[in-house]
Amino acid sequence: MAPAVWTGLLPLWMCLLLAPGFAQAGKLLVIPMDGSHWFTMNAVVEKLAHRGHEVVVVRPEVSWRQGKSSNYTVKTYSTSYTLEDLSHQFKVFTDSQWKTRAQDRLSLIMKPSNDVLKYFFSNCRHLFNDKKLIKYIEDSSFDAVFLDPFDMCGLIVAKYFSLPSVVFSRGVFCHYLEEGTQSPSPLSYVPRFLSEFSDAMTFRQRVWNHILHWEERLFCAYLLQVGLEAASEILQTTVTAYDLYSHTSVWLLRSDFVLDYPRPVMPNMIFIGGINCHPRKPLSQVSCPSFSSGESGVDEKAKQIPH
């Protein structure tokens, strides 16, 4: 777990980091997630760089969305797969979503998700195999790691280099958000993800909530198995998901406290609102005919219809 002093000071540090004119520029290492995850993180990274912070993004050379930028430094490392391999595997995953019944929530992402995650989890091995890049990170004296927790590599990097970590996420699918932050999560009052229950559950729903919780624990152990094997290999010790998620210093949650349901939170869990999509574009100007003119047009057309 991150030292208590970091847990107390990092929320203030991040607020100062994001506030113009109030803090000295910092040095931030960014370990992103590819695809739609990068849309929202990139907007924050660009803003941090624009405000004078030194930002270094470390990503695989094979990428869908992550490109170069004139505002921050990009470091890449080689992978064992091609863009075609990644796209094919992701297509297998998306195609499977249409063949699975909505009620089978766990099987919806079980086998195909595990296959595509193997590509993402393998990235961390490739990163640490790049000795020149590892030496660069060691010598750069970064202040913190800014990461997306989905592929776990950012969590591994933060723990390996003993750096404070700032998670940027909508949430965590498994139960590690509550356990990693030591946030109370009584199953009689806090519904599990995908349960569709509210915080006011009947006795029957509370029983099902407990069952879903244990199903989730079995599922998450299977889902993250490859990633944890990579983490144990890199850190040269047996690593659990709790070891990685509890190391997080600050959770920036792209949500609102009351969006899902009220629940206990800890001081290092900060709700920053629903930044979950591309910046919006202005709507095109569309002229709407008045009701009277539309009605008149209908009447004129009606007159042309032969009786």
Q: According to the model, what pLDDT value does residue 147 have?
A: 93
Q: According to the model, what pLDDT value does residue 31 have?
A: 94
Residue 230 · residue 253 · CB < 8 Å: no
Q: According to the model, what pLDDT value does residue 277 have?
A: 61
Domain range annotation of the chain: 4-290
Cβ neighbors of 302 (< 8 A, separation 6 or more) are: none
Q: According to the model, what pLDDT value does residue 21 have?
A: 47
Q: Check residue 98 and report its DSSP letter.
A: T
Q: According to the model, what pLDDT value does residue 111 have?
A: 53
What's the CATH code, domain 4-290? Answer: 3.40.50.2000
Provide the residue-wise pLDDT of the chain in tens; the chain has 307 residues.
444 444 455 555 555 455 544 456 789 999 998 777 787 888 889 889 988 899 999 998 887 776 677 788 999 998 887 778 777 777 777 776 666 554 455 555 555 455 677 777 888 999 999 999 999 999 999 999 999 888 889 999 999 999 999 999 887 778 888 888 888 888 888 888 777 888 788 999 999 999 988 888 888 888 888 889 999 999 999 999 999 999 999 999 888 777 776 778 899 988 887 766 666 677 777 655 554 444 444 444 444 544 4
Phi-psi region of 38 (alpha: psi -120 to 50; beta: other; left: phi over 0): alpha
